[in-house]
A = this chain, B = another copy of it.
């Protein structure tokens, strides 16, 4: 990112501050960039972290179930899950009576990775939430959950 020098005349953002989509884009982009920096040493992207959490909370879950839970297409999850298994963080087990499906579980390595990673992410979340009061942050998350149907 550039650090531009301050301008005498501030730019008029026009209708953008009144558009939810625009505000979400900006907020999401900022968080994603900081997430990547903050967790670089773990080598796990934001999306991969979400998958690890879901597998941890639902041992034996299948990829299709994860797709539903994460609101993503299976074709999005499949390569991500492949990286996680290749790196030895997730194990694929056979599912009785359905040889198409795969039961997903964290490996010991994956289980060991998550606690310190979660700590780092908690710091990142706190830092990025600085502009908000604690109560505002709670309210924001409540509204986003409702918007997302969660």
Interface residues of A, Cβ cutoff 8 Å to B: 1-2, 4, 7, 11-32, 35, 46, 50, 53-54, 56-58, 61, 64-69, 71-74, 118, 121, 124-125, 128-129, 131-132, 136-137, 139-141, 143-150
Chain B residue nearest in CB terms to A124: B21
Interfacial chain B residues near A53, Cβ < 8 Å? 13-16
Interfacial chain B residues near A148, Cβ < 8 Å? 23, 26-27, 30
The residue in A12, A15, A19 that gathers the most chain B C-beta atoms within 10 A of its C-beta is A19
- Counting every copy of the chain, the complex holds 2
Report the minimum CB–CB distance from A55 to chain B (whole Å): 9
Bound complex: CA of A57 vs CA of B17, how far in Å? 13
